[in-house]
Chain A
Amino acid sequence: VSFIPGGLDCSISFVSHVLGKVCVHGRQKEILGVLMPHLTDLTKSHCIWQRICWRLVECVPDRWMEAVVLGFVQGAPGADVLSRLLGNLVVKNKKAQFVVTQKMLLLQYGHTTAVLQDLLGYLSLDSLRRPLLLRVLQELLETWSSSSAVKHSPVEQQLYISKAILICLSHMKEPEIESCRQELLTSMMEGVKCHLDSSLPQLRRLGMVVAESISLKINTEGPALKFEYEEDDETRELKSLLVQTPPFCVVPSLPDDDRSEKAAAALPLVPESNEKPHTAAPVMPDEELDAELDSDDDLAPYDMSEDKELKIKAPVYIRDCIEVLTGSRSEDVDKWEATVKALESLIRKNPAATREVSVELAKILLHLEEKTCTEGFVELRQRAQVAVLTTDPIPVAKYLTSQFYSLNYSLRQRMDILDVLVLAAQELSCPKFHGKTKHSGAQKPCIQLLTGSDSSKDWRGIVDERIKSKTRRFNMGQSHVELASHPNEFNSVAGHFFFPLIQHFDRPLTTFDLLGEDHVVLGRLVHTLAILMYLAVNTVAVTAMGKALLEFVWALRFHTDSYVRQGLLSCISSLLLSVPTERILADMTEELLETQSWLGDVMEKDPDGDCRRLALQNLLLMENLKKKLEAVPS
């Protein structure tokens, strides 16, 4: 497509029509791929060409405007280029304005960061367009701070909106921020509250990063808001969006990613915290080779081999440990610390002695608080608790599950109970014999439940592998070597772990309401039940557990918290994997059919991506079950 140079007065509305028609049929990339580089070069030098270009886009009929604008925004190599090409189109044309300020930012979320940068940069480059930028920021903040949006919109969309907010903030100038400071502050406070309320760690982090950035912008003097969270690639990328590098002349052939990389590099490196200047610079040389009579030489040293580090001895008997831990003598802190460190190995070495005092020990450990600044105290305590639980499962499980539903425990303690139950169940169901696991094929990754929130991801990994192994087995027959099997110690106690936990979930207490505010604990409980179900494979109680679990899931299936829903779907997966197929089909057919239709619903309509994936997996598992049953001759 070539243009007529020179000062000819021509009408380009025909070209606009062609452009529009082509774009709306989906051929934006092809035509704009050729057109844009030409226009970019031409508009750089001649303002006549700029005006021609503007006329070109302005004349595109409204019904095709969206496609054309989208194409331009996506294809432009930079905000300044976009500005040259489109001019003040967004101000003049209502449709274009809608597309740029509303549709691309609030209704769609699939565009890349580079596109966002270009779009918002374009809005900021001209004084006629800046008011639009302000309005865009306000609307974005409204969405970001609305609690229903945080709860129900997918994480990807929230990430997109957060990025857009940060880029807007980076373009704002001081007087503009001044004028809307109050609104920024209000939105920030509301938004932070909704984000921190969420059970998904990614959303919490998003909220924290955005809130920090907003507070940084509105409080130029004085301390800015600072949250504690782990930095990862996402947070670093988000923070880099706050720093704007001046647009420089990028050759059109360079990919768009370059600009975001350069922006990231402009992030000032935090200076390394200086070590306290060590004043110990030795002044005199150590070796004095000049002949100064060393009268020390005639002093013969004595034997000092006995001089070793002083170790505080920990008690050797379990009952002594109990005395030390419950004793109120504050002087013996060293002994207390040594006891805490030695407790787990003592418990494991003396199972008979532990069984005599197991419930008492469990009680002490549940209430044990850190007295000294011991390293790894939480882990030491948890390992001791797991050791007690595995040594004497039934009474201790009874105690712990009853305490889970009792008054006056903190949320942290209740979640600790759940973690301990899971770790102990894992240990009981696969005793450590050179790392071989009982379930052939499925790898058992080490579940770090201390950090807690990521257990659902680990389990998804396990379930994925399990599904893979199951499907393979169906297709290719027994291809795995059976590993040495051991009696599953979890068999006799699985019910004791599982049923008390599931019993009282709908009975609220004054300090603990699973179905109400404490949905974080509910989420953890559901995940715990899924894990216990999974570990109960081949136990006697597994069918009863399965039925109870299915009822539980059915009651909670419409819960608003996505972490809880993910847990419920993991429960279904565990159920399908652990309960023998014959029992499922014999005892739970109607429930399963209902569940199947629920899963289909979830797969299509649930806003959370993880939920949808899990639902799909479950449906696949159910399909496999059916096929398996059909394939095996009865």
Chain B
Amino acid sequence: MALPPPDPQFVLRGTSAAVHTLHFSCGGPEPDIPLLFSGSENGFIHVWNLKTHRVDTALDGHGRKSVYCVETMGGKDRLLSQGRDQRICLWDLAEGRTSVTDSVFTEHVGFCRCSLLKVAQGRWLMAMAARSLEEVQILELPSKTSVCTLKPEVGAKLGMPMCLKLWQLNCDSQPVLLAGYEDGSVVLWNVSMGKALSQLICHQEPVMSLDFDVEKAKGISGSSEKVLSIWSLNEQQNLQVYKTHELVNAGISDITIRPDKKILATAGWDHRIRIFGWKKLKPLAVLDYHTATVHCVSFSDHSNPQERLLAAGSKDQRISVWSIYAQT
């Protein structure tokens, strides 16, 4: 007898605008307060205190243009945010400061979230969509030097890059980029050589979001249609479709795999969050709380597994936080 789906553990209100992106920072040692960063359509980045469930700080750095990506760079003191003002801002939040230390002018007018990868102590690689329609640029941070530009071949007609994921198999191997494009295909790029290794057409519609499990070399992508596509990478670095899963309603905004690789969450246009088992994509739960499109989902990085949380931000201006399958 299946239990009815759980209710959210708590709901964060107060953004006064649709929530587009979420990022947890709860991994710090005990005296540190677990935080949740959220980016909203009104250009504010709210720093939520997960103990008091209130906003600690509100950061305004994108000229009231929507913020659609927030990431921490090695701890809660360094924040990266990307907004519709075509800028990526780097923040210094240590000791109560709230200043923008640096910014990158991307000239990108789309919605493609950038992807960060730590390659060495104090050095990151960031993949972002560039000014030219089909290109992805890789920059090194904090130096902001361009590592390479990934251009699809002429006539490929991939469209805009929609979502990016930079990863590397281990610290010594080459960084690789997975990019989902407007025409529904996912391309694997070799960053150092700047050329494409493999391309796979996963969807008929634009790829809205993707996530990748480095250990199992398996990834999942969602689009505006009703199908989730799971694909894998074989030894020859070729992408192959592994299986597809059909959803009840069309449209996925965001997909994320939990860090322990046991479950994954999808944010749907039908206002629902769906939880699947990652191994076989077994549907586990449908969380129905929001009253408008869910824009983003994110898993927390708590070191204690029992405290793990899932947060979802929606167009109805609420952030729901759930504790689900935390026992395993």
> Which positions in A face B, CB cutoff 8 Å?
279-284, 286, 294-296, 298-304, 306-310
Give which listed residue, A284, A300, A307, contacts B286 with CB less than 8 A: A307
Given contacts A302-B4, A302-B285, A303-B4, contact A296 B279 (CB under 8 A): yes
Closest to B272 in A: A307
* CB closest residue in chain A, given B271: A310
Indicate if B33 sits at the interface (CB-CB under 8 A): no
CA distance A280 to B203 in the complex (A): 10
Given that A299-B325, A308-B248, A310-B270 are known contacts, is A283 also in contact with B242, CB under 8 Å in the complex? Answer: yes
State the main secondary structure of chain A at its contact with B. Answer: loop
The docked-state distance in angstroms from the alpha carbon of A284 to that of B234 is: 11
Q: A279-B200, A280-B241, A283-B240 are in contact. Are A302 and B3 (CB under 8 A)?
A: yes
Q: Which of B153-211 contact A (CB under 8 A)?
A: 200-201
A281, A299, A303 — most chain B CB neighbours (10 Å): A299
The answer on a CB contact under 8 Å between B241 and A303 is no
Given A296-B280, A302-B3, A302-B5, also A280-B244 (CB < 8 A): yes
Chain A residue at smallest Cβ distance from B261: A295
Q: Does B28 contact A (CB under 8 A)?
A: no
With known contacts A300-B2, A302-B5, A307–B279 Cβ distance under 8 A: no
List the A residue with the shortest CB-CB distance to B324.
Answer: A302
CB-CB under 8 A for A303 and B3, given A283-B242, A294-B280, A298-B328: yes
List 13 interface pairs A-B (beta carbons < 8 Å), by A numbering.
Answer: A279-B200, A279-B201, A279-B241, A280-B229, A282-B241, A282-B242, A295-B328, A296-B282, A299-B282, A299-B328, A300-B284, A301-B282, A302-B4
B280 — which chain A residues lie within 8 A by C-beta? 294, 296
In the bound complex, residues from chain B placing their C-beta under 8 Å from that of A283 are: 232, 240-242
Q: B residues within 8 A CB of A295?
A: 262, 279, 328
| Chain B residues in 8 Å Cβ range of A279 | 200-201, 241
CA distance A301 to B244 in the complex (A): 20
Q: A307-B248, A307-B272 are known contacts. Are A299 and B284 too (CB-CB below 8 A)?
A: yes
Cα A309 to Cα B288 with chains together (Å): 13
Using a CB-CB cutoff of 8 Å, which residues 202-259 of chain B contact chain A?
229, 232, 240-244, 248-249
Closest 6 CB pairs of A and B: A296-B277, A303-B2, A302-B285, A307-B286, A310-B270, A302-B5
Q: Across the interface, do A299 and B262 meet the contact criterion of CB distance under 8 Å?
A: yes
Task: Give Cα distance in the complex from A304 to B201, angstroms.
Answer: 30
Report which of A296, A299, A310 forms a contact with B249, defined as CB distance below 8 A: A310
CB-based contact A301/B262 at 8 Å = no
Contact partner of B241 among A281, A298, A306, A308, CB < 8 A? A281
Which of these, B278, B282, B288, contacts A306 with CB under 8 Å?
B288
Q: Is the CB of A301 within 8 A of B284?
A: yes
> Interface range on chain B: under 10, 10 to 19, 20 to 34, or 35 or more?
20 to 34
- Asked whether any CB of chain A lies closer than 8 Å to the CB of B63, the reply is no
Task: Name 8 extra pairs, CB < 8 A, besides A279-B241, A299-B328, A300-B2.
Answer: A283-B240, A286-B243, A295-B262, A299-B282, A301-B283, A303-B4, A304-B283, A309-B249
Partner of A304 from the list B5, B244, B271 (CB cut-off 8 Å) is B5
Residue B263 is within 8 A (CB to CB) of chain A in the complex: yes
Distance, CA A410 to CA B174, complexed state (A): 66
Chain B residues near A282 (CB-CB < 8 A): 241-243
Cα A299 to Cα B263 with chains together (Å) = 9
Decide if B14 is an interface residue (CB 8 Å cutoff).
no
Question: A298: which B residues are within 8 A, CB to CB?
Answer: 328
With a cutoff of 8 Å between Cβ atoms, the chain A residues found around residue B240 in the complex are: 283
Q: Which of B44-89 contact A (CB under 8 A)?
A: none
Q: Does B305 contact A (CB under 8 A)?
A: no
Which residues on the B side are within 8 Å of A306 (C-beta)?
Answer: 286, 288
Considering only CB atoms, which chain A residue lies closest to B2 in the complex? A303
Are A309 and B263 closer than 8 Å at their CB atoms? no
Contact of B2 among A284, A286, A302 (CB under 8 A): A302
CA distance A296 to B288 in the complex (A): 22
* B325 to chain A: closest residue by CB: A299
Per-residue CB proximity of B302-328 to A under 8 Å, as 1/0? 000000000000000000000001001
Report the bound CA distance from A296 to B249 in whole Å. 24
A302 to B243, CA, bound (A): 23
A301/B241 contact (C-beta < 8 A), A295-B279, A308-B248 known? no
- A281 to chain B: closest residue by CB: B241
A284 to B243, CA, bound (A): 9
Taking the closest CB of chain A, its distance from the CB of B184, in whole angstroms, is: 11
Give min CB distance, B213 to chain A, whole Å: 14
B232 engages A284 (CB within 8 Å): yes
Q: Chain A residues with Cβ under 8 A from B285's Cβ?
A: 301-302, 304
CA distance A369 to B272 in the complex (A): 34
A310 neighbours in B (Cβ, 8 Å): 249, 270-271
B277 near A284 with CB under 8 A, answer: no
**With A and B bound together, what is the CA distance between A51 and B200 in angstroms?**
74
The interface residues of chain B lying within 8 Å CB-to-CB of A308 are 248
Q: Give the distance in Å from the alpha carbon of A300 to the alpha carbon of B279 in the complex.
A: 14
B277 proximity list for chain A (CB < 8 A): 296, 299
Quick check: is B6 within 8 A (CB to CB) of the other chain? yes
Q: Are B286 and A304 in contact (CB under 8 A)?
A: yes
Query: B133-154, CB under 8 A of A: which get 1 and which 0?
Result: 0000000000000000000000
Within B1-32, which residues are at the interface with A (CB < 8 Å)?
2-6
CA distance A307 to B241 in the complex (A): 27
Q: Is the pair A294, B279 in contact by a Cβ cutoff of 8 Å?
A: yes
Docked pose: A46 CA to B284 CA in angstroms: 90
CA distance A296 to B286 in the complex (A): 17
With a CB–CB cut-off of 8 A, which chain B residues contact A286? 243
Bound form: Cα–Cα A286–B243 in Å = 8
Which chain B residues lie closer than 8 Å to A309 at the CB level? 248-249
Are B328 and A284 closer than 8 Å at their CB atoms? no
**Chain B: CB-nearest residue to A288:** B280
Q: How far is the CA of A369 from the CA of B248 in the complex (A)?
A: 31
Q: How far is the CB of B1 from chain A (nearest CB, A)?
A: 8
Q: How far is the CA of A306 from the CA of B243 in the complex (A)?
A: 25
Residues of B within 8 A of A299 (CB): 262-263, 277, 282, 284, 325, 328
Q: Nearest chain-A residue to B6 (Cβ)? A: A302
B5: chain A residues at CB < 8 Å are 302-304
Cα distance A295–B258 in the bound complex, in angstroms = 14
* A307 vs B246: C-alpha distance when bound (angstroms): 13
Residue of B nearest to A303 (CB): B2
- Of the candidates B249, B270, B271, B284, the one whose C-beta lies within 8 Å of that of A302 is B284
Contacts of B249 in A (CB 8 A): 309-310
Complex CA–CA separation, A283 to B235 (angstroms)? 14
A85 to B325, CA, bound (A): 95
B3: A residues at CB distance < 8 A:
300, 302-303
Determine the residue in chain B with the shortest Cβ distance to A301.
B284
By a CB distance below 8 angstroms, the chain A residues around B284 are 299-302
Name the CB-closest residue of B to A298. Answer: B328
Residues of B within 8 A of A300 (CB): 2-3, 284
Nearest A residue (CB) for B288: A306
User: What is the CA–CA distance of A214 and B242 in the complex, to the nearest angstrom?
Assistant: 52
A102 and B2 CA atoms in complex are apart in Å by 87
Minimum CB–CB distance from A118 to chain B (whole Å) comes to 53
B291 to chain A, nearest CB (A): 12
> Closest Cβ of chain B: how far from A539's Cβ, in Å?
52
Q: Give Cα A296 to B277, complex, Å.
A: 6
Assembled-state Cα–Cα distance A213/B184 (Å): 41
| Cβ–Cβ < 8 Å partners of A296 in chain B | 262, 277-280, 282
How far apart sit A286 and B315, CA to CA, in the bound complex (Å)? 37
Closest to B279 in A: A296
Give the distance to chain A from B91, nearest Cβ to Cβ, in Å: 34
- Specify the chain A residue showing the minimal Cβ separation from B282: A296
A300–B285 Cα distance when bound, in Å, is: 9
* Distance of A299 Cα from B232 Cα, bound (Å): 23
Q: How far is the CB of A273 from chain B (nearest CB, A)?
A: 16
Q: Which residues of A contact B2 (CB under 8 A)?
A: 300-304
Kindly name the residue among A300, A302, A310 whose own CB sees the greatest number of chain B CB atoms within 10 A. Answer: A302
Which partner residue on chain A sits nearest B244 by CB separation?
A280
> Which residues on B sit within 8 Å (CB–CB) of A281?
241
How far, in whole Å, are A283 and B278 apart by their CA atoms in the complex? 18
